[in-house]
Amino acid sequence: MLGDAGEFDMAAPSRREFVRSLSAGFGAAAAGRAAPRPNILFVCSDQHSFRYAGYAGHPQVKTPNLDAIARRGVTFLNAYTGAPVCVPGRTSMMTGMYPSDCNSFCNSTVWDGSHPTWGARLRQAGYLTRAVGKLDLNPDFDTGFEETMTSHGHRFRPDITSLFRRPVGYRVDERRGVDGKPRDRRHEDARRTALALKLLRRNASGAGRPWALYVGFTEPHPRFVALKKYYEMYPPEKVQLPEVPAAYLERQHLMLQELRRFKRIATPIPEARRRRARAAYYGMVTELDEYIGRLWRALEDNGQLANTVFVYTSDHGESLGEHGLWYKNNLLEAAVHVPLVIAGPGIPAGKIVETPVAHVDLVATLLELGGVTDAPGLRGHSLLPLMRGERGAHPGFAYSESHSEGNCTGSFMIRKGDWKYLHFTWYDDLLFNLAEDPGEMRNRIGDPAARPVLEELQAILHGEVAPEEVTHRGFRRQADMLAGLVRRMSRQELVQLFEGRMGKGQARALADLLKHDGS
């Protein structure tokens, strides 16, 4: 009923040429011998929304290195995170499962180890697997990588506010974060880049087997503070601001209104601060682009580019003022839609795929590249057929879910073709036609003409998950974690734990409530 989303390419090879180059580069046998398996360089940033790149058509943000890589490979125009927050989003990206399959609902409920990562699967297949930078998994289990300077921050410092969703409290520090400024020192990502370059040189000197290197950057995650030379590229007075009509805020979905209240951004934020925040975000994206370019050039300099697949994506996006929202935690496009570019041997140059895909598909893609044929039960599907202009087994839709801080209920998304359906447990739903309404301002849920589309997307959602069961399970998981903290900690310890994110008043009131007698 929706039809397949289309693809178009720029200077892409024919299907026959693609299959031939794929076979020679990293496919099956060529001329009676097994082709070498490719190396894999997987780069993941933090909070880079899909539209903020030159290759994506943004009129201001400069990303010359990503633009060049996109010209060398395939750009997925409609790629989605598994969840618009760090931990569950990365859980989906690393396991090929939905976050709720791994009991990862928020930044307090980390990956439970029930499904292996693509690093573990490739290592078992003979790859040397290494990781540097932000992983945000759970080191209590086998992450699948030889780790150097990695971080799993939320395993040890959970977002405590995600444990208070019924009813939702508020987070005191979010509002003041909507501002931007320059800095003189380079971002921590510069150190991560230097370490990744050392590992690439070590691999080039003789790994003796195919390798996969994961590099986790943390730009452009807030705070919005950009390297001075990049901040100055985007004068705040010239930065574009999204239009958020007052009439829209009046009728905004209740879940999104509650999220704005939770973040203390329901009261309008001064324009000067919003401009500075966006300018700094743009600058951070451009600094990130510099580090990505260094990694790409290292592959060229080390003679590894011809047999290395390069993947770039981000764990989730950033609202950046759209719909009156900032940061993440919601299923609107700015927060849930992410960049995805894949380049390498046998991959068409300059091809653009419009079919909606998701991070959950990356594991199946990497495993097929690595010659792993036995990986039953994955939720995702390989993207290689879409790269060569075929449908393959991919269902043509993307799924995401949200159960993190500020969400008063479970939220679920299906994107197929031009249509996007958002389901909120116990609340009204939303339906958008993104071709006609890219800003997601016109809810078509009650439009009789859209009824057949709505029924199709509802059937897809309920075929993938049982939304109400997942919502209940998320609440239970978070309640169990909170109960464990209450058992282990005194009232004063709870106050100290809560205070940083929730303020003194909430912290003391909640600690008293949870400890009952205040002792």
What is the per-residue pLDDT across 9-27, written as a single tens digit (0 to 9) for each? 333 343 444 434 444 444 4
**For residues 359 and 83, what is the distance between their CA atoms, to the nearest angstrom?**
9
The amino acid at 125: A
Handedness of CA 279, 354, 297, 68 (dihedral sign): negative
Mean pLDDT, rounded, for 478-501: 95
pTM of the model: 0.93
Mean pLDDT, rounded, for 218-229: 98
CA atoms within 13 A on the CB side of 308: 26
Query: What is the pLDDT, as a whole number, of residue 18?
Result: 42
Query: What is the pLDDT, as a whole number, of residue 204?
Result: 78
Task: Kindly tell me if the per-residue pLDDT of 517 is higher than 70.
Answer: no
Mean pLDDT of the chain: 92
Cis peptide before 220 (omega within 30 of 0): yes
Q: Give the SS3 label for residue 413.
A: strand
**For residues 314 and 326, what is the distance between their CA atoms, to the nearest angstrom?**
17
Q: Which of 474, 477, 493, 473 is nearest to 485 (CA)?
A: 493
Given pLDDT bands bounded at 50, 70 and 90, which one contains residue 31? very low
What is the per-residue pLDDT across 421-440, written as a single tens digit (0 to 9) for each? 999 999 999 999 999 999 99
**For residues 139 and 133, what is the distance between their CA atoms, to the nearest angstrom?**
14
Query: What is the pLDDT, as a whole number, of residue 203?
Result: 84
According to CATH, what is the number of the domain 7-27+46-392+402-469?
3.40.720.10
Query: What is the pLDDT, as a whole number, of residue 36?
Result: 84
What is the per-residue pLDDT across 270-303, written as a single tens digit (0 to 9) for each? 999 999 999 999 999 999 999 999 999 999 999 9
Given pLDDT bands bounded at 50, 70 and 90, which one contains residue 375? confident
CA 218 to chain centre: 12
Cis peptide before 167 (omega within 30 of 0): yes
Query: What is the pLDDT, as a whole number, of residue 34?
Result: 54
Counting residues of the chain whose pLDDT is more than 90, the rounded percentage is: 90
Q: Are 284 and 226 in contact (CB under 8 A)?
A: yes
What is the per-residue pLDDT across 456-473, written as a single tens digit (0 to 9) for each? 999 999 999 999 999 999
**DSSP states of 95-119:** HSS-GGGGT--BTTB---SSS--HH
Residue 284 contacts by C-beta under 8 Å, 6 or more apart in sequence?
187, 219, 220, 224, 225, 226, 227, 230
Task: Kindly tell me if the per-residue pLDDT of 518 is higher than 60.
Answer: no
Query: What is the pLDDT, as a whole number, of residue 10?
Result: 34
Mean pLDDT, rounded, for 146-153: 94
Domain limits, the chain:
7-27+46-392+402-469
What is the per-residue pLDDT across 54-99, written as a single tens digit (0 to 9) for each? 999 999 999 999 999 999 999 999 999 999 999 999 999 999 999 9
Length of the chain counted residue by residue: 519
Of the two residues 345 and 14, the one the predictor is more confident about is 345
Query: What is the pLDDT, as a whole number, of residue 6?
Result: 36
Mean pLDDT, rounded, for 89-113: 97
The enclosing H or E element of 401 equals strand 397-402
Task: Kindly tell me if the per-residue pLDDT of 484 is higher than 80.
Answer: yes
Task: Kindly tell me if the per-residue pLDDT of 310 is higher than 70.
Answer: yes
Query: What is the pLDDT, as a whole number, of residue 355?
Result: 98
What letter would DSSP give residue 1?
A: -
Residue 351 contacts by C-beta under 8 Å, 6 or more apart in sequence?
7, 9, 10, 12, 73, 74, 75, 387
Q: Give the SS3 label for residue 479.
A: helix
**For residues 347 and 312, what is the distance between their CA atoms, to the nearest angstrom?**
14
Token reading at 35: 């082709």
Token reading at 292: 């990505």
CA 117 to chain centre: 16
Query: What is the pLDDT, as a whole number, of residue 371?
Result: 94
Residue 461 contacts by C-beta under 8 Å, 6 or more apart in sequence?
399, 412, 414, 421, 423, 467
**For residues 339 and 333, what is the distance between their CA atoms, to the nearest angstrom?**
12
Query: What is the pLDDT, as a whole number, of residue 35?
Result: 65
